[in-house]
Chain A
């Protein structure tokens, strides 16, 4: 199973096996990674599963849709490689990617 490394706000790192076809948010929720709230369950509507991708991975994934792009405008600590992790579906191509979890998520 491909591995994804999550860099957590406290500076530690957690490596997860993420099955192909599962979203990064789902993998993070199932392992109980704090900092990814994901209140809407994966609909790209709550903006509480924001992560920063590495530039090369960011360029390889499908671009964000309209609602996700709009939410990324208002999430705290946004960067050029910000995405909602519920919209990043794991593929072999993304194996060993590194994802940074921001210190705070959008407050609902």
Chain B
């Protein structure tokens, strides 16, 4: 779509309603104002606190190094200054795409010219593991609850050895908890990172005293009289803990969109401008699923970069401006004080060849598919990251030693 043919959607009389006030929702509101959008903007959050950033919830905030006021994305005065109406603690109950309006739990009825769905994703739960002392980590309340449990004597069981589970494990062990991580695949951060990065992180967690159960098949969970849990593994071993964190991925929150008749398939389907199947409804951030040429399919991407870029692209389409140039997807994680940055995504259907180089403080992995640089990983090497990221999609594989790795699986990360 060019700027000209976006004209049909511009500046509809009732303004923009943004459902969800995470990174994506807040950025969209600001990007609209920066682009000169003059009509009312309502930013609606189901949560009762000021809009905040989520990445620290498993890291600095959970460890106590960072207090809640530092999580706020913007101050209340900043929204006022930009004339953005922020509605908190009032979930949207229905999105009526025929009447162009939303209705909230408190009975607010807001009409829109454009609606932006930025509802994010919820933690995936396990049907056989529910009840006392079983937690997920997606929002501030989850983090506060988990934080209150992670005292020195706590035995924490983490189900899922992806970014989130490992970040919490690293934070918990620092707080004095003893930690066991169950991962069903043979490697940590399976499908997200190279074999090199995965095994190096495994060594870090081992060294920190975290017990890693890889290839773990959990047959059954037993609830104990003291409120704790016992995991029974298929190899006959059992493992007890006081608190369980379930970190097995997220499910997009698409209920409002589905009920509004918006096309969804594992996420709210969007075009390159983040427009849904309903012309004046957009979807951005974790809940949106758009075509990813690098993967040759639709995919949701859970990352701050994707939240920000999709928010800016939707804002540009609403005001009728051309979109910014596309950037590779980027992700980051922090475990045991080491910072991992990733750019680009690996197509699980194609062979990957990894080229690992040592850097001053860590390492750089260049990942090639079909002879082209497709993704990179950098540990504590932000300069190498920035420089190499610019080469994604344009540089051919080097002739040096390349370590073959197995195919990867999924695409979403959480930071």
Interface residues of B in 46-69 (CB under 8 A from A): 53, 55-56, 67, 69
Chain B residues within an 8 Å CB radius of A32: 30, 74, 78, 81-82
Interface residues of A in 29-81 (CB under 8 A from B): 29-32, 34, 39-41, 43-47, 66-67, 70-71, 73-74
**Does residue B126 face the partner (Cβ distance < 8 Å to A)?**
no
Q: Is A45 a contact of B74 with CB atoms below 8 Å?
A: no
Known contacts A31-B74, A32-B30, A66-B360; is A108 also within 8 Å of B330 by CB? Answer: yes
Chain B residues within an 8 Å CB radius of A29: 73-74
Q: Is A26 a contact of B70 with CB atoms below 8 Å?
A: yes
**Does residue A97 face the partner (Cβ distance < 8 Å to B)?**
no
Q: Is A31 a contact of B330 with CB atoms below 8 Å?
A: no
**Does residue B308 face the partner (Cβ distance < 8 Å to A)?**
yes
Chain A residues within an 8 Å CB radius of B72: 30
CB contact between A70 and one of B30, B34, B305, B383 (< 8 Å): that residue: B383
- Encode contact with A along B12-47: 1 for CB under 8 Å, 0 otherwise: 000000000000000000100010000000000000
**Does residue B77 face the partner (Cβ distance < 8 Å to A)?**
yes
Chain B residues within an 8 Å CB radius of A21: 67, 70
Known contacts A45-B332, A74-B383, A108-B386; is A34 also within 8 Å of B34 by CB? Answer: yes
Chain A residues within an 8 Å CB radius of B380: 67
Q: State how many angstroms separate the Cβ of B376 from the closest Cβ of chain A.
A: 13
Chain A residues within an 8 Å CB radius of B70: 21-23, 26
* A66, A67, A73, A74, most chain B CB atoms within 10 A: A67
Chain B residues within an 8 Å CB radius of A108: 305, 327, 330, 386, 389
Which range contains the number of B residues in contact with the other chain?
35 or more
Known contacts A30-B75, A67-B382, A74-B386; is A43 also within 8 Å of B360 by CB? Answer: no
Interface residues of B in 242-270 (CB under 8 A from A): none
Known contacts A70-B383, A108-B386; is A39 also within 8 Å of B30 by CB? Answer: no
Chain A residues within an 8 Å CB radius of B377: none
**Does residue A8 face the partner (Cβ distance < 8 Å to B)?**
no
Known contacts A30-B78, A32-B74; is A43 also within 8 Å of B332 by CB? Answer: yes
Known contacts A29-B73, A31-B77, A41-B56; is A46 also within 8 Å of B383 by CB? Answer: no
**Does residue A19 face the partner (Cβ distance < 8 Å to B)?**
yes
**Does residue B304 face the partner (Cβ distance < 8 Å to A)?**
yes
Q: State how many angstroms separate the Cβ of B312 from the closest Cβ of chain A.
A: 11
Q: State how many angstroms separate the Cβ of B2 from the closest Cβ of chain A.
A: 24
Nearest A residue (CB) for B327: A108
Q: State how many angstroms separate the Cβ of A83 from the closest Cβ of chain B.
A: 15
Known contacts A19-B69, A106-B386; is A40 also within 8 Å of B361 by CB? Answer: no
Q: State how many angstroms separate the Cβ of B315 from the closest Cβ of chain A.
A: 14
**Does residue B220 face the partner (Cβ distance < 8 Å to A)?**
no
Q: State how many angstroms separate the Cβ of B37 from the closest Cβ of chain A.
A: 15
Bound-state Cα–Cα, A99 to B69, Å: 22
Q: State how many angstroms separate the Cβ of A26 from the closest Cβ of chain B.
A: 6
**Does residue B339 face the partner (Cβ distance < 8 Å to A)?**
yes
Nearest A residue (CB) for B50: A30
Known pairs A23-B70, A67-B339, A73-B383 / 14 extra A-B pairs, C-beta < 8 Å: A21-B67, A29-B73, A29-B74, A30-B74, A31-B78, A41-B55, A43-B339, A45-B341, A45-B385, A46-B382, A67-B382, A71-B382, A71-B383, A108-B389
Chain B contacts to A: CB under 8 angstroms = 30, 34, 53, 55-56, 67, 69-70, 72-75, 77-78, 81-82, 304-305, 308, 327, 330, 332, 334, 339, 341, 360-361, 380-383, 385-387, 389
16 contacts between A and B (CB under 8 A): A19-B69, A30-B75, A30-B78, A31-B77, A32-B78, A43-B332, A44-B382, A45-B382, A66-B360, A67-B361, A67-B380, A70-B382, A71-B383, A73-B383, A106-B386, A108-B327
Chain A contacts to B: CB under 8 angstroms = 19, 21-23, 26, 29-32, 34, 39-41, 43-47, 66-67, 70-71, 73-74, 106, 108
